[in-house]
Amino acid sequence: MSRKQKIDLGDSSNYEDQGRAVRQRLDEGGSLNRWTGKPYSSRYYSILDARTKLPVYQFKDQVLKSLEDNQIIVVEGETGSGKTTQIPQFFLDAGFEERGVIACTQPRRVAATSIAARVAEEMDVNLGEEVGYTIRFEDVSDPNKTVLKFVTDGMLLREAMSDPLLLRYSVIILDEAHERTLATDVLMGLLQELLPKRTKGSKHGELKLVVMSATLDAKKFRDYFHGAPLLKVPGRTHPVEVFYTAEPEPNYLEAAVRTTIHIHQCEGPGDILVFLTGEQEIEQACEEIREKALALGQDLPELVVYPLYSSLPPQQQRQIFKPAPGPRIPGGPSGRKVVVSTNIAETSLTIDGIVYVVDPGFSKQKVYNPRVRVESLLVSPISRASARQRSGRAGRTRPGK
């Protein structure tokens, strides 16, 4: 990476100082929420404590300065560093909403809805007012009030068809750009043509672009956008041991279930995340894990299993964030939860407490067959970047396997 483009992000040891400074600023500015005009709730302050400890928080000034000086910036940060929830709020704090709405794109509907709900809670506002989301068949936003909008990349693309210059927006954040969905790729090409028409001093006002990616290919995005500055936000990840099977497994579903039960019997406390390809496989695996856990008897700690895929109702999706069950007997080992998920949990969602990850190495991907002109979902091997991303899920809270 060329020396002039690499932005030094300084020392990452002063989370507490940052948090104290933020709280002091809030106290000086009074405790009224500038969006609602009401006093902040106690929940707001408890979330603020957690927010100020996120790795991305201390780079707020650098992110804002880079965006002031450049029309495009690329942010690379591990999942869990807080970039998706915090960076849009940085732009609100800097007053970008006065120039137009801030849009943040997500490749998945479940990510757009859950992140919008989380950010609304962090800002202490009602979802659908200052913070909203738009996904296919559902628009929870207010055209007059919403300043920050989470949208699926397909919906922003649809909006660009009726408004080619995206005049409503002042900042567009392309999140999870490494997922390379069709809509994200087309949006990048579209923005590449659109940005020169909306520079500083143009009659339509300036449009800023932030490309956020979790993997190590951010350099490619940087090169595509004419050497835009790249900011690296370190995620606090712990070391992860990786174990491989000696021989290829004839049935990866069976092997994943067997490995999960083996971890439950032999390894220390910590939750398990299992990656599988689709709804049918996930439900089958959940059933098998529950049966085998029952067959092990009452001697082992309790094991609860939660499925996670995009067509699951939102109430059931939220169950994955429940804490693991407590010990069966006072003083005994505490229980364990298993989340069996599609690649939603790879980057879009961070589930606390995961220490073990079982990765068969497959996911469903859309494949277009030009001969019959049909698009179908096929189970195919994941990329190396995805495999690295999945292994990173294990080292969120402590060293994992």
Give the pLDDT of the chain (401 residues) as one tens digit per residue. 443 444 444 444 454 555 555 555 554 445 788 888 888 888 888 888 888 888 888 888 999 999 889 999 998 887 777 888 899 999 998 888 888 999 999 988 888 888 898 899 899 999 988 999 999 888 999 888 899 999 999 999 999 999 889 899 999 999 888 777 888 889 999 999 999 998 888 888 889 999 988 766 777 888 888 888 888 887 766 788 999 998 988 999 999 999 999 999 988 889 999 999 989 999 999 999 999 988 888 888 889 999 998 888 878 888 888 888 888 888 888 889 999 999 888 877 778 788 999 999 999 888 888 999 998 888 889 888 788 888 888 887 788 89
Residue 99 lies in a domain: yes
Residues 280 and 341 in one domain: yes
* Whole-structure pTM value: 0.78
Residues 279 and 229 in one domain: no
- The residue among 233, 265, 291 that closes a domain is 233
**What is the SS3 assignment for 54?**
coil
Task: Print the domain residue range for 316.
Answer: 252-392
CA-CA distance, 49 to 51, in Å (whole number)? 6
Contact partners, residue 152, CB within 8 Å, separation at least 6: 105, 106, 107, 108, 109, 112, 134, 135, 136, 183
Residues 183 and 49 in one domain: yes
Q: Encode 210-227: b = buried (16+ Cβ within 10 Å), e = exposed.
A: bbbbbbeebeebbebbee
Residues 161 and 194 in one domain: yes
Residue 11 lies in a domain: no
Residue 202 lies in a domain: yes
Residues 229 and 256 in one domain: no
Number of independent structural domains in the chain: 2
Residues 219 and 262 in one domain: no
Are 38 and 32 in contact by the 8 Å Cβ rule? The answer is: yes
Residues 113 and 258 in one domain: no
Residue 7 lies in a domain: no
Residues 175 and 34 in one domain: yes
Residues 135 and 60 in one domain: yes
Residues 82 and 132 in one domain: yes
Q: What is the CATH number of the domain that holds 125?
A: 3.40.50.300
Residue 241 lies in a domain: no
Residues 159 and 41 in one domain: yes
Residues 32 and 158 in one domain: yes
